[in-house]
Amino acid sequence: MGKVLKRIMDIILSVVLIIVALPLLVVVSLIIVIDDGFPVLFVQKRVGYRRRMFSIIKFRTMHVDAPQAATRELIDPDRYITRFGRFLRRTSIDELPQLFNILTGKMSLVGPRPVVENETKLIALRERYGIYSIRPGVTGWAQINGRDLISVEDKVLMDQYYLENQSLLLDLKIILRTIHVVLFQHGVHEGCFETNQRR
Tens of pLDDT, residue by residue over 72-115, are 666 677 788 999 999 999 899 999 999 999 999 999 999 999 99
Return the biggest CA–CA distance within the chain.
45
User: Does residue 192 sit within a domain?
Assistant: no
Please give the tally of structural domains in the chain. Answer: 1
| Whole-prediction pTM | 0.86
* pLDDT tens-digit series, residues 161-194: 999 999 999 999 999 999 988 887 655 545 443 3
Q: Is residue 119 part of a domain?
A: yes
Does residue 190 lie within any of the structural domains? no
Cis peptide before 39 (omega within 30 of 0): yes
Determine, yes or no, domain membership for 196: no
> 78 lies in a domain?
yes
Instruction: Tell me whether residue 110 is exposed, middle or buried, using C-beta atoms within 10 angstroms of its C-beta: 0 to 12, 13 to 18, 19 or more.
Output: buried
Note whether residue 199 is domain-resident: no
Buried/exposed code over 168-197 (b: 16+ C-beta within 10 A; e: otherwise): eeebeebeebbeebbeeebeeebeeeeebb
Using the CB atoms, write b or e for 34-60: b if 16+ within 10 Å: eebeeebebeeebbbbeeeebebbbbb
Range of the domain at 103: 3-184
Residue 194 counted as domain residue: no
Residue 148: CB partners within 8 Å, gap ≥ 6? 72, 187, 188, 189, 193, 196, 198, 199
